[in-house]
Amino acid sequence: MKNIIVACGGGVATSGAVASKINTELEALGLSHKAKAEAVDIKSLELFARTADIYVSITPMPGANHDDFPIPVLNGIPFLTGVGKDEIMEKLVKLI
C-alpha cells in the first residue's frame, strides 16, 4: 500500500479536496487497494514525509526544486484546475 500525501495550510480544505479527487481516480482505475491519498498539514510536512511514499504538492514556488526531498514530488495543481489532470495521473500511477 503506497501512501500519498497532499499538504496545504491546515491539512483540511484544499489538500482534503485534492486527496479525495486522487482517491476517486484511483478507485476508477481499480487501484484503490494499492495506494491511498491523505491530506496533511504543511507545517508538519517533514514529519509526514517520513512515512509517505509520494508527495503531491499544491503549494508551488517558481524556481524551487524538490531534488533533495526524501520522496518523489508531483505537481498537484492540475487536480485543482482540471488542466493537465490526465498527464499527472499517469505519472502518479507509474509511481505506484
Spell out a b/e string for 13-43, using b for 16 or more CB atoms within 10 Å of the CB, else e.
ebbbbbbebbbebbeeeebeeebebbbbebe
Nearer to other proteins, 13 or 95 (CB): 13
- Which of the residues 57 through 76 are near other proteins (CB under 8 A)? 57-62, 64
Nearer to other proteins, 84 or 95 (CB): 84
**Which grid coordinates belong to 83?**
488542466
β-pair partners for 75: 57
Nearer to other proteins, 34 or 43 (CB): 43
* Residues near other proteins (CB under 8 A): 7-17, 20-21, 39, 41-44, 47, 57-62, 64, 77, 80-83
